[in-house]
Structure 1
């Protein structure tokens, strides 16, 4: 179990760093392109842009786990490793592919990581939406 933690923690830390960068990138993107603009279309485009940014960040994190699984020899090709990683990261848990007994605890570790990172992604989207709503309400009052 210690080996699994020592193997998975660097990936979790990389994902936390990546998610932090993505979150800051979302804020900078919003401020640069949409902060001073108003209207429904502006809100839709801002939210759409943030969704694309966080989705790319989440996909990169899934790819990192997939690369780890491939490197550990659990899968013969990257596509299968990334598929398994995506199922873990999204906490779907299909169970159609199971890793060896030595490394299968990496699955729940990735699921916890994914739940936290997807939650933070949702928070980034919600922050943009809330800011846009406050601007619209302020315009009404």
Structure 2
């Protein structure tokens, strides 16, 4: 039980760093390009940019977990490992592909990681949206 935790924690820490970078980049993107712009089009473009940045960050995190699964020998191809990772990260839990008993604990560990990182993605998007709405409502 300790071995999966030892293997999964560095990936979680790397994902926390990736998500922190994506969140900061998305806020910087908004400030640089849309902070002083008003109107619906500016809001849509700002939100689209933020969503793109955080989505890319989440996809990188899924890839990182997939690379770990491949490195551990759980899957034969990166495609299969990344698919399984995406199912875990998004907390879908299809169960069509399962890992060996030795590494099975990595699935729920990734699911918790994914739920937290997707939540932070949503928080970044909401922060930008709230700022844009507040800006529209205040004279």
What TM-score range do you get, normalising by the shorter chain? Answer: over 0.9
Structure 1's consecutive aligned runs of 4 or more residues displaced over 4 angstroms after TM superposition are none
Whole-Å separation in 2 of the counterparts to 1:112 and 1:122: 15
Residue 93 (structure 1) aligned with residue 96 (structure 2): no
1:85 to partner: Cα distance: 0.0
| Gaps in structure 2 of 5+ consecutive residues | none
Residue 102 of structure 1 aligns to a residue whose secondary structure is coil
Q: CA deviation at 1:19?
A: 0.4
Length, aligned pairs only? 139
Residue in structure 2 matched with residue 79 of structure 1 by the alignment: 79
Structure 1 counterpart of 2:16: 16
Q: Please, what TM-score do these two structures have when normalized by structure 2? A: 0.99
Instruction: Give distance in 2, aligned partners of 1:96 and 1:105.
Output: 16
RMSD, aligned α-carbons = 0.4
Structure 1: how far apart are the matches of 2:22 and 2:42?
21
Structure 1: unaligned runs, 5 residues or longer: none
Once the two structures are superposed, residues 78-124 of structure 1 have per-residue CA deviations (whole angstroms, 9 ceiling, x without a partner) of: 00000000000000000000000000110000000000000000000
Equivalent residue, structure 2, for 1:133: 133
Structure 2 counterpart SS, 1:101: coil
